[in-house]
Amino acid sequence: MEVYLRKDIEKIGLAGEIIKVGDGFARNFLIPQGLAVEITNHNKSQYITKIRTVENRKEVIATQTSIFADKISILTLTLKKKMHDNGQLYGSINASEIVDALAEKGISITKSQVEFDKSIKSKGTFKVGIKLTTKLKPSLMLTVIAE
């Protein structure tokens, strides 16, 4: 069955796409949840014109997001934290500290967008990923120093 997606669904498709899915999946999940609309011969042309306008909007958003990603990738953040004599932190750096440091630089993201390779528990320079979209994940450099 062909359906027009109203919202992004991970591993299925993006909002504004016409995709083919199983009849049961469409009738039992997508359509009742309001996530998709069934494509019939009568409404197919209407949704095809919607796809064109959505594609234009996606291009604009993609260019704005890539500019935002470039801003993030050139950033170096410095956090001053209390440490033991051996250079170990009393706690670890968490996502909300990164969000707050970026907010001071005028960049607004959520905690769920911050990705660490491993927890940061010592002084030094670390790479921190920021997930903007599924394909666009710029990294910034984080330097942790003693207070």
**DSSP symbols for 40-96:** -TTTHHHHHHHHHHHHHHHHHHHHHHHHHHHHHHT-EEEEEE-B-TTSEEEEEE-HH
Q: Residue 18: which of 3, 28, 34 has the closest Cα?
A: 3
Please write the tens of the pLDDT for every residue from 50-96: 777 777 777 777 777 888 888 888 888 999 999 988 888 888 899 99
CATH topology of domain 75-146: Ribosomal Protein L9; domain 2 (3.10.430)
Residues 10-58: pLDDT tens digits?
A: 788 878 888 899 999 999 999 999 999 999 988 888 888 777 777 777 7
CA distance 99 to 131: 12
Residues 6+ away with beta carbon under 8 Å from 34: 6, 7
CATH 3.40.5.10 range(s) for the chain read 2-66
Q: Is domain 2-66 given the CATH code 3.40.5.10 in the classification?
A: yes
Domain boundaries for CATH 3.10.430.100 within the chain: 75-146
